[in-house]
Amino acid sequence: MKHKINYLGFLSLLALIAILGWQTENKGLYGFFGFAYYVRYFWIIPDEFFRLNIQKAATFAFMSEMILLVPFMFVCTFIYGVGKAVPISFALSFAATILAFTTALIFFEWGERKGAEND
């Protein structure tokens, strides 16, 4: 029997970057501990419906990044100036994208679990 690997669990490896924050005393890297949430996906067998939920969540996250990048650019230009606006706005849009993906995936899984309980 072939064991299928859920590749979404490998996102949890990004939580190791937070250890660098501890070693270098860079508190900005502690946010990577949030990726430890994805460890749970190593034990979920990916079926077609799970992949559809991943696709829907990724599409939502991509569109949210495309929509939020321009407003973040304008706001960061006024707050931080032109020199720092680009890296800060890209970092903010990346963080918003990860948050949107995770939230959408939790929402879709919750809906799937709720539907399974009603049957």
| Model pTM score | 0.83
What local confidence, expressed as pLDDT, does residue 67 receive? 94
What local confidence, expressed as pLDDT, does residue 111 receive? 86
What local confidence, expressed as pLDDT, does residue 28 receive? 84
Task: Give pairs for 29-33: CB < 8 Å, separation 24+.
Answer: 31/95
Percent helix, strand and coil across the chain, each rounded to 5?
90, 0, 10
Dist CA 114 CA 78 (whole Å): 45
The one-digit pLDDT tens for each residue of the chain (119 residues) are 466 788 899 999 999 998 898 889 888 888 889 899 999 999 988 888 989 999 999 999 999 999 999 999 999 999 998 889 999 999 999 999 999 999 999 999 898 888 766 65
Q: Is 28 exposed, middle or buried (0-12, 13-18, 19+ CB in 10 A)?
A: exposed
